[in-house]
A and B are shown apart, each in its own frame.
Chain A
């Protein structure tokens, strides 16, 4: 898969998060994987289609998800990863992917995105590609969010 397709997703992450009150995220890793991704606790899958088709997964620990939800809700404490916190993470994934879609349009690739599917659990596997996919790790205030991107070609 084409590495240049990953930039719109990283750019979306680094642009959108500061707008929600986070410090600018840093990219701390990027690998090409062909094994199934493993859930770190909370994983959101968003599909896209039109000129390119694929899936993106935002994969993080429950602690990180609670930290992000809390920051998004103006610092409101989040003790449990409850429905409200889940909605916040779904909404963030939706915003990130919609922003990535806009960035892709700038490359001449129009895409439509699906509603996010939020999954919670430990150590389950996530398969988004029969082939290789890209895995980018972003650091937000010491919290890691893994972004897995698979594009069908």
Chain B
């Protein structure tokens, strides 16, 4: 997949390093770093970045002036301001100069990536948008919820699901997503993991008896809680979007194939001491 080029403009070396390290494992690539306005204009012309992060305080001109100079050579330049101050006057002046978005230092990785994603929406494919703007949030919520619901640590892996087929042996809670975008989440695992997790969720000891019905209900509720939390977090970031979830449906058995060729979906795997917990997050094609 083609990388999205970012130019970082900041007079502080530490700030430049922080932004580039946040973007290190993403689909963004820092193509240039400038420490003053003159350098920023020269490097912009040379490297043609897709998006620019702009500090307010630069030694030779402020970020707003620098934005004006970049816009003079490329009126379509996409610029996000990252500064310690963020007040109404600055935002007004910045908007007039052509700054598309404003972030306040310290910036969280999520906030930065989501903002850059939104700004470059037309430049990147739907896969990257879904992955960076939604799936990473779902994965983070899964990890946090495994801790809060079951008290377990987990290691998370995210991969795009290329063949659109999931094999389920055990239990899968399927939760639909309505609104924009539409999709569905499947939280699934084998029976052993289901019993381990549901006993932990209910505060039982591993040797205690738990019926299959109750264990399945616990996983269903976990799927409902995790998806609900993830969706509200995404809704908080994208103020213009409102996703909601449908009640869970659960499938139980062996050799079940969950197939959704019409979805762009991602496999999130959480490795835990109780077994692997899988979450597949899929969205309808087309953002």
Residues of A within 8 A of B (CB): 36, 39, 43, 45-50, 53-55, 57, 83, 86-87, 90-91, 112-128, 130, 150, 152
Contact, CB under 8 Å: B262 / A90: yes
The answer, among A87, A112, A122, A150, for a CB contact under 8 Å with B244, is A112
Question: Does B220 sit at the interface, judged by CB under 8 A?
Answer: yes
Q: A125-B251, A152-B247 are in contact. List 7 more A-B contacts (CB 8 A).
A: A49-B247, A114-B246, A117-B258, A120-B256, A120-B259, A121-B255, A130-B217
Given A115-B182, A115-B282, decide whether A49 and B258 contact each other with a Cβ distance below 8 A: no
Q: For chain B residues 105-132, which have a beta carbon within 8 Å of chain A?
A: none
A83 and B261 contacting across the interface, CB-CB below 8 Å: yes
Contact between chains at A36 and B252 (CB < 8 Å): yes
Q: Contact: A115 with B262, CB < 8 Å?
A: yes
Nearest 6 CB-CB pairings of A with B: A114-B176, A47-B246, A124-B253, A47-B176, A112-B178, A121-B256
Q: How far is the CA of A123 from the CA of B260 in the complex (A)?
A: 20
Residues of B within 8 A of A114 (CB): 176-178, 182-184, 246
Interface hits, B236-283 → A, CB 8 Å:
244-247, 249-263, 282-283
| Also in contact, A115 and B249, with CB within 8 A (given A121-B256, A127-B216) | no
A127 engages B247 (CB within 8 Å)? no
- Cα distance, A117 to B263, chains bound together (Å): 10
Q: A48-B246, A127-B249 are in contact. Are A115 and B183 (CB under 8 A)?
A: yes
| Cβ–Cβ < 8 Å partners of A115 in chain B | 176-177, 182-184, 260, 262-263, 282-284
> Does any Cβ of A come within 8 Å of B34's Cβ?
no
- B283 surroundings in chain A (CB, below 8 A): 115
Residue of B nearest to A152 (CB): B247
Decide if the interface of chain B is mainly helix, strand, loop or mixed: strand
* In contact, B259 and A113 (Cβ under 8 angstroms): no
CA A87 – CA B164 in complex, angstroms? 11
Size of the chain B interface, CB-CB below 8 angstroms: 36
Chain A min CB distance to B281 (Å): 12
What residues on B are CB-neighbors of A55 within 8 Å? 176, 246-247, 249
Closest to A49 in B: B246
Task: List the A residue with the shortest CB-CB distance to B254.
Answer: A124
Taking a contact as CB atoms closer than 8 A, the residue among A90, A117, A121, A124 that contacts B249 in the complex is A117
B174 contact set on A, CB distance < 8 A: 45, 47, 117
| In the assembled complex, B186 has its CB within 8 A of some CB on chain A | yes
Instruction: Give the shortest distance, in Å, between B260 (CB) and chain A (any CB).
Output: 6
Q: List 19 A-B contacts (CB under 8 A).
A: A39-B256, A46-B176, A47-B176, A55-B176, A86-B261, A87-B262, A113-B176, A114-B176, A114-B178, A114-B184, A115-B176, A118-B258, A118-B259, A118-B260, A121-B253, A126-B249, A127-B249, A128-B247, A128-B250
Q: Which residues of A contact B253 (CB under 8 A)?
A: 39, 121, 123-125
**Nearest chain B CB to A72's CB is how many angstroms away?**
14
- Inter-chain contact B252/A124, CB cutoff 8 Å: yes
Measured in the bound complex, the distance between the Cα atoms of B252 and A125 in whole Å is 5
Residues of B within 8 A of A117 (CB): 174, 176, 184, 186, 249, 258, 260
Q: Does B179 contact A (CB under 8 A)?
A: yes
> With an 8 A cutoff between CB atoms, is B222 at the interface?
no
Select one of A83, A86, A116, A126 contacting B250, CB under 8 A. A126
Q: Is B175 an interface residue (CB 8 A)?
A: yes
User: In the complex, A152 Cα to B255 Cα: how many Å?
Assistant: 29
Which of A87, A121, A128 has most chain B Cβ within 10 Å?
A: A121
